[in-house]
Amino acid sequence: MNKINVCLSPALFHFYAENNTTVVMVDAIRASASICTAFMNGVQFIIPVAGIAEALSYKSKGYKTAGERNGKKLEGFDFGNSPFNFTEESIKNQKLAFTTTNGTQVVNLVKKSNLSEIELLIGSFINISSLANYLTNQNKNILILCSGWKNTVNIEDTLFAGRLAYLLLQKKEFETSEAANLVLTVYKNSGNSFYDFVIGNSPRLKEKSAFLEDDFKYCLTENLTDKIPCLQNDKLVLLNF
Given this model, what pLDDT does residue 71 score? 87
Mean model confidence pLDDT for the chain: 96
Give the mean model confidence (pLDDT) for residues 172-199: 98
Given this model, what pLDDT does residue 241 score? 84
**Count of structural domains, the chain:** 1
Distance CA 148, CA 158 (A): 8
* CB-neighbour burial class of residue 233 (10 A; exposed 0-12, middle 13-18, buried 19+): exposed
pLDDT above 90 (res 197): yes
The CATH number for 105's domain is 3.90.1560.10
Write out the residue range of the structural domain in which residue 153 sits: 3-238
Question: Which percentage of the chain shows pLDDT scores above 90?
Answer: 98
Distance CA 46, CA 96 (A): 5
- Model confidence pLDDT, tens digit, residues 68-100: 999 899 999 999 999 999 999 999 999 999 999
- Model confidence pLDDT, tens digit, residues 125-161: 999 999 999 999 999 999 999 999 999 999 999 999 9
**219: pLDDT confidence band, cut at 50, 70 and 90?**
very high
